[in-house]
Amino acid sequence: MSDLFGLFFNSVFVGNILLAYFLGMCSFVAVSKNLRTAVGLGLAVVFVLTITSPANWFIYHFLLAPGALSWAGLPDVDLNFLKYIAFIATIAAMVQVVEMIIDRYSPALYANLGVFLPLIAVNCAILGTSLFMVERNYTFVESVVFGFGSGTGWMLAIITMAAIRVRMRYANVPVGLRGFGITMIVSGLMAMSFMIFSGMGT
């Protein structure tokens, strides 16, 4: 149990998917302009990550890993090279399903998220989490916790960034740095502050 808590803490703070591995930067920079959409997108990413990480675990361990097809009588087949395309297809399909469910049961939230919901499919943090999950040999339960933790870390980072950008409306940034420039500088300063946790855990 404490191992799982440690894994959660690690994936939120120590190895923050955004501020330690710099995955998912594009939507982080683009969507953090507005606090409300940042919270919505953050929640959607948490949700999608918590589903796709275990789903990809199943696909990898029962279809793609070397020797995974032995249940079908094909122990020599190694489909590892299909990892990327299979994961991306799963993610895209999952996002579509989530989109349809939200559209059916909560049209208001669907309208709020707008185009950002389908865009989650191309968020590098989602694919990155699935690949890390394979690379680090997580078990099924660990993959659920890791997906949830990565999503929470991503949401924490984007909400913090959105709040900082609310405050920066009063800043007087040099013209050449306005917009993306200053956002990248703030991301760098955030990553520096998050190094407080580097070296803890594994």
Angle between helices 35-59 and 124-135 (to 10 degrees): 40
The verdict on 195 binding other proteins (CB under 8 A) reads yes
Q: Which of 34, 132, 194, 202 binds other proteins (CB under 8 A)?
A: 194
> Could you tell me the CA-to-CA distances from 189 to 20, 129, 167, 194, 195 in Å, in that order?
12, 24, 16, 9, 10
Alpha helix locations (H) across 11-69?
25-31, 35-59
Site string for other proteins, 25-64 (x = CB under 8 A): ----------x-----------------------------
Q: Count CB-CB contacts under 10 A for residue 178.
A: 13
**Which residue number, 104 or 167, has a Cβ lying nearer to other proteins?**
167
Q: Which of 26, 80, 177, 180 binds other proteins (CB under 8 A)?
A: 177
CB of residue 172 to other proteins, shortest distance in Å: 3
User: Among 103, 99, 128, which residue's Cα sits nearest to residue 116?
Assistant: 99
**Which residue number, 89 or 200, has a Cβ lying nearer to other proteins?**
200
The verdict on 65 binding other proteins (CB under 8 A) reads no
